[in-house]
Amino acid sequence: MNNLAAVNEHVDLDAIDQGVIALLREDGRMPYRSIARELGVTEATVRARVKRLEESNTMRVVAVTDTQAAGFDLLLAVGVQVEGRAPEAVAQDLARIEEVFSVNVVVGTHDVEILVMARDPGSLKTLLADTLGSIPGVRRLTPALAIDVLKNQPDWVPFHDA
């Protein structure tokens, strides 16, 4: 099967698929043997299910960085007003910046909204004034510092029962 066909393939999830996904959500490095034992199936079955789920783009197992453990203590949502360039072009430039981890072209008060992380107030000042502010087309930045993060779920994806 070529990659294009795999991307467009719809996969109906049965109880085994859902069990594999649930266990890998708890521990993405869980051995297939342990998954098989938990679900009462063979290791070969688990291996085949994971392969099918990954090839159909139904599931991906990825590493997620703990941003605080990596030294980023400040989280900001930043609205970006654009002038003189297409918002998509400015968004592409913003997406190349290491501290920017989410970029969205939007309709509303701002043209682009980004989420950024900073290590400390000094690096935040440099990020806002020197890095973000120097991108051609950026007219105005409207930062909002997160003072209490109630939910940050980077592994969230819609998941419906079969």
pLDDT digits (tens, 9 = 90+) for 73-114: 888 999 999 999 999 999 999 999 999 989 999 999 999 999
CA gap 109, 4 in Å, rounded: 37
Give me the pLDDT at residue 94, please. Answer: 97
The two structure tokens encoding residue 99? 């501290």
CATH ID of 74-145, from 2.60.120.1440, 3.30.70.920, 3.40.50.720, 1.20.1440.130? 3.30.70.920
CA gap 103, 114 in Å, rounded: 5
Give the dihedral sign, CA 98/54/154/38.
Answer: negative
- Quick one: average pLDDT of 6-29? 82
Give me the pLDDT at residue 150, please. Answer: 79
CA gap 20, 13 in Å, rounded: 10
**Does residue 161 carry a pLDDT above 50?**
no
AA identity, residue 16: I
**Does residue 6 carry a pLDDT above 50?**
no
* Residues paired with residue 83 on neighbouring β-strands, in sequence order: none
Nearest to 53 by CA among 21, 15, 8, 19: 21
**Does residue 2 carry a pLDDT above 50?**
no
State the average pLDDT for the chain: 86
- Quick one: average pLDDT of 123-137? 95
CA gap 84, 117 in Å, rounded: 27
Task: Domain ranges for the chain, please list them.
Answer: 3-55, 74-145
> Tokens 């297409």 belong to which residue?
86
Query: Is CATH 1.10.10.10 correct for 3-55?
Result: yes
- Could you tell me if 35 and 47 are in contact, meaning their C-beta atoms sit under 8 angstroms apart? no
